[in-house]
């Protein structure tokens, strides 16, 4: 049985069983509290450049199937579990988790105390880490890890390079790809939208030339400060066309209107985050995956807080006071997770219809 190390930049070392690809990997170490949905999480491009720890003790028990991909080529750097299932027991499964990680060149480590690891991250925050083989020189690897500068072009790495269609017969929606999940496309397809997916650096002029009924800003990895050009695009669109942002799209929409963002200690990653809609008091359990958040203290007058996280009161949703535009930090498309908030896609449909009707009357 091959052995592997997980080395943290604070000097903590875990030793466990190697599975997945036989390679070293360095990235930002984070954790997810989801009990299921490991395939969706691993293929979520918001985990680009990160080593993903699952807090649930058994991962891989229903295998990997063709239906639950959130992207075709995952870009997380590694997977950390307490125990991985050698055999998938679901009738849909096509391969095991180990086979999948080998095929995607992603290393994994199992048999370590993931609860102790999670406590370290919760106390000290996310940090750099390396997955490596036992035989390598530990001191040298720790020095290399501490000297490593993690990339900041995460969105450019995962965004589409060219525009492409997801044809439908209904409303014309332009979806700006900052690292989108396929579940967003699925929700728009359910509503028969005619979708055009465009790269993250597409200009407002190019988007408006597509004559959309609405524009969506997708989720994505990294720091919103690293894509300042997106703010000009958003400013050039809002007020002219309805706008809906999710996760990274929420942060960028807020920043475009004068808000600031901050890096959270360990972020929100999981499918059990309770969010309150302030106007109605409605509570939804939501799927989340983000390490940055919009600052409540530096929110401009033009934005109204619509949702907040129940536990830490972080900003989970805003809408513009004057324009047909809103955004949420969580994932109403879920996948994985509860579908409590999927109604927000219907709200977006109604917003587009109302705006178009008002334009026609004018």
Q: Which residues are catalytic?
A: 247, 331, 333
Q: What is the SS3 string spanning the chain?
A: CCEEEEEECCCCEEEEEEEECCCCEEEEEEEECCCCCHHHHHCCHHHCCEEEEECCCEECCCCECCCCCCCCCCCCCEEECCEECCCCCCCCCCECHHHHHHHCCCEEEECCCHHHHHHHHHHHCCEEEEEEECCCCHHHHHHHHHHCCCCCCHHHHHCCCCCEEECCCCCEEEEECCCCCHHHHHHHHHCCCEEEEECCCCCHHHHHHCCCCEEEECCCCCCHHHCCHHHHHHHHHECCECEEEECHHHHHHHHHCCCCEEEEEEEEEEEEEEEEECCCCCEEEEEEEEEEEECCCCCCCCEEEEEEECCCCCEEEEEECCCCEEEECCECCCCCCCCCCCHHHHHHHHHHHHHHHHHHHC
Q: Do residues 109 and 101 touch, judged by C-beta distance below 8 A? A: no
222 appears as a binding residue in the annotation: yes
89 appears as a binding residue in the annotation: no
251 appears as a binding residue in the annotation: yes
257 appears as a binding residue in the annotation: no
220 appears as a binding residue in the annotation: yes
105 appears as a binding residue in the annotation: no
Binding residue positions for L-glutamine: 46, 220, 222, 248, 251, 289, 291-292
Binding residues: 46, 220, 222, 248, 251, 289, 291-292
């Amino acid at each position: 049985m091959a052995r592997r190390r997980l080395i943290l930049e604070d000097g903590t070392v875990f030793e466990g069983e190697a599975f997945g690809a036989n390679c070293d990997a360095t990235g930002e170490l984070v954790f997810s509290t989801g009990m299921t949905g490991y395939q969706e999480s691993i293929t979520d491009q918001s985990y680009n450049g990160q080593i993903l720890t699952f807090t649930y003790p058994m991962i891989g028990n229903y295998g990997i199937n063709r239906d639950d991909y959130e992207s075709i080529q995952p870009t997380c750097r590694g997977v950390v579990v307490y125990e991985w299932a050698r055999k998938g027991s679901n009738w849909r499964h096509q391969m095991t988790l180990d086979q999948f990680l080998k095929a995607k060149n992603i290393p994994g480590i199992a048999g370590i105390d993931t609860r102790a690891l999670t406590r370290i991250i919760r106390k000290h925050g996310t940090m750099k880490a390396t997955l490596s083989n036992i035989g390598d020189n530990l001191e040298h690897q720790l020095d290399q890890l501490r000297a490593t500068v993690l990339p900041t072009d995460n969105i450019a790495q995962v965004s589409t390079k060219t525009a492409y269609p997801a044809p439908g017969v209904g409303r014309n929606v332009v979806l700006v790809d900052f690292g989108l999940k396929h579940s967003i496309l699925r929700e728009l397809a359910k509503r028969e939208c005619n979708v055009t997916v465009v790269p993250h650096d597409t200009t407002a002029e190019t988007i408006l030339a597509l004559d959309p009924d609405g524009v969506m800003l997708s989720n994505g990895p990294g720091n919103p400060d690293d894509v300042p050009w997106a703010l000009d695009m958003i400013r050039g669109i809002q007020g002219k066309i309805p706008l809906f942002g999710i996760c990274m799209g929420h942060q960028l929409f807020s920043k475009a209107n004068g808000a600031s963002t901050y890096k959270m200690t360990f972020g929100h990653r999981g499918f059990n985050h309770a969010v309150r809609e302030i106007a109605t008091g409605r509570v939804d359990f939501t799927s989340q995956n983000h390490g940055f958040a919009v600052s409540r203290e530096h929110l401009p007058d033009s934005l109204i807080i619509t949702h907040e996280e129940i536990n830490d009161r972080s900003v989970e949703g805003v809408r513009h006071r004057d324009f047909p535009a809103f955004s949420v930090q969580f994932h109403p498309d879920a996948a994985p997770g509860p579908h409590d908030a999927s109604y927000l896609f219907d709200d977006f449909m109604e917003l587009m219809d109302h705006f178009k009707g008002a334009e026609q009357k004018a």
